[in-house]
């Protein structure tokens, strides 16, 4: 088991070229939010924008879109029920934060896994949908990034009584399904095709609602920018934790909010890019 260190992360980080424009940094799609859970969409979208995606569009219900457009004017929006363009124009998609478990969401997720041919991340409600529709497990595209916390992992792959058993299962399952598996928690695991890393950044302040939504946004941005799925997951996990460590200069682990962490993403990127 390897460690995600600053020296390793610096090797995979791609510095932004001074002559680049927004089209060079990808168009990310975030499928997130529903009635009562638009905070998840806002958090994932803001983290995606703060992580370098050139363009970010959010797929969310029409009646909730005003929340997103007021909170994040930099993001674009498509109506979940009436999107006629499909996903062709997007460079990568992150699906799940607060999206809900309804019939429309099940159909949308099923469509994405079958038809979207670009990098894909599945989190939160996307994983919860799969956990109650186990036939969808075999439809997850090769190379997709899955980011479960321990309870989501157990709902998908069965109960595990210890962290050690869960980690061992995650390494085996990632290889079996040919996916990048990010098992969130203390020293988050990132594993793909039998190669595994544990993260050294982060702190207990991340043990709050919204942390996973932010990680979805960060990794989706990196996927849209052209990183391969494994590197995007490793870099995203490290940056997410590093930004949380910077946040401790301003907050405590008790007072830290994920929105504080998102505002420290710039410091994390600057540290890696020096």
pLDDT (tens digit, 9 = 90+) per residue, 20-52? 988 889 999 999 999 999 999 999 999 999 999
Q: Which of 207, 157, 166 is nearest to 185 (CA)?
A: 207
- What is the pTM for the complete model shown? 0.98
CATH code: domain of residue 114: 3.40.1190.20
Collect all residues with Cβ–Cβ distance below 8 Å to 254 and sequence separation of at least 6: 205
- Name the domain count of the chain: 1
Q: At what angle do helices 229-247 and 265-272 cross, to 10 degrees?
A: 120
pLDDT over threshold 90, residue 86: no
pLDDT over threshold 80, residue 84: no
Question: Would you call 78 helix, strand, or coil by DSSP?
Answer: strand
Angstrom CA distances, 76 to 187, 201, 266, stand at 34, 32, 22
At 268, list the tokens. Answer: 């994390």
Q: Are 4 and 200 in contact (CB under 8 A)?
A: yes
- State the Cα–Cα distance between residues 38 and 46, nearest whole angstrom: 12
- Please calculate the CA angle 268-126-149 and round it to the nearest 5 degrees: 55
At 120, list the tokens. Answer: 């894909």
Q: Are 46 and 72 in contact (CB under 8 A)?
A: yes
Q: At what angle do helices 265-272 and 38-50 cross, to 10 degrees?
A: 30
At 95, list the tokens. Answer: 């699906």
Collect all residues with Cβ–Cβ distance below 8 Å to 241 and sequence separation of at least 6: 188, 199, 200, 201, 202, 203, 206
pLDDT over threshold 80, residue 130: yes
| pLDDT tens string 223-238 | 999 999 999 999 999 9
Segments forming the whole domain that contains residue 116: 2-272
Q: Are 221 and 28 in contact (CB under 8 A)?
A: yes
């Amino acid at each position: 088991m390897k460690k995600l260190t600053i020296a390793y992360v610096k090797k995979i980080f791609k510095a932004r070229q001074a002559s680049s424009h927004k089209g060079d940094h990808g168009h990310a799609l975030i499928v997130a939010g529903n009635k009562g859970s638009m905070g998840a969409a806002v958090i994932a979208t803001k983290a995606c924008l703060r992580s370098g995606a050139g363009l970010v569009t959010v797929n969310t219900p029409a009646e909730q879109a005003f929340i997103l457009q007021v909170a994040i004017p930099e993001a674009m929006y498509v109506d979940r029920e009436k999107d006629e363009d499909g996903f062709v124009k997007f460079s990568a998609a992150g699906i799940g934060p607060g999206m809900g478990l309804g019939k429309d969401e099940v159909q949308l997720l099923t469509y994405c896994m079958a038809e979207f041919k670009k990098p894909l991340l599945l989190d939160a409600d996307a994983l919860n949908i799969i956990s109650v529709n186990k036939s969808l497990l075999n439809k997850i595209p090769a190379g997709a990034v899955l980011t479960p916390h321990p309870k989501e992992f157990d709902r998908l792959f069965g109960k595990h009584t210890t962290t050690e058993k869960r980690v061992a299962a995650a390494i085996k399952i990632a290889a079996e399904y040919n996916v990048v598996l990010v098992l969130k928690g203390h020293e988050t695991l990132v594993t793909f095709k039998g190669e595994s890393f544990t993260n050294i950044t982060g702190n207990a302040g991340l043990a709050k609602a919204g942390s996973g939504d932010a990680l979805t946004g960060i990794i989706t941005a990196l996927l849209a920018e052209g990183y391969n799925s494994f590197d995007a997951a490793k870099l995203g996990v490290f940056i997410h934790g590093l930004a949380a460590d910077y946040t401790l200069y301003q907050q405590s682990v008790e007072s830290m909010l994920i929105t504080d962490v998102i505002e420290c993403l710039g410091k994390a990127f600057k540290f890696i890019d020096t």
